[in-house]
Amino acid sequence: DAGVTQSPTHLIKTRGQQVTLRCSPKSGHDTVSWYQQALGQGPQFIFQYYEEEERQRGNFPDRFSGHQFPNYSSELNVNALLLGDSALYLCASSSGTREQYFGPGTRLTVT
């Protein structure tokens, strides 16, 4: 049973560019959440998708947007990248309001 998968593993972008990160949930899960983890800090909630809709959103600007597809996979898009967007981006999946299982993350570096 495959767990949560994320792609790519690493990514280097330049300020002002746009980036798309991808996530496939664990089998049987219908809910995907995204978190940003800056170096030396705990993860911060960006948003959660359920039934292809954004169900809840954390304190992140509109430059951060997402999408969920009918197969429950999800994308995180970040526009107009800033140096401060450099972080590990974690995707987590769950079934309803239960425990979340995390993927290995995508390391984004903005130069």
Q: Which is nearer to other proteins, 17 or 21 (CB)?
A: 21
How far is the CA of 64 from the CAs of 7, 79, 85, in angstroms? 17, 7, 10
Residues near other proteins, by CB under 8 A: 4, 31, 33, 35, 41-45, 48, 55-56, 58, 90, 92, 97, 99-105, 107
Angle at Cα 62 formed by Cα 11 and Cα 53, nearest 5°? 90
- Shortest separation between residue 16's beta carbon and other proteins, angstroms: 27
CA-nearest of 88, 101, 91 to 1 is 101
Q: Which is nearer to other proteins, 5 or 20 (CB)?
A: 5
Torsion angle of C-alpha atoms 61, 64, 68, 73, degrees rounded to 10: -130
- Shortest separation between residue 88's beta carbon and other proteins, angstroms: 8
Q: Which is nearer to other proteins, 14 or 97 (CB)?
A: 97
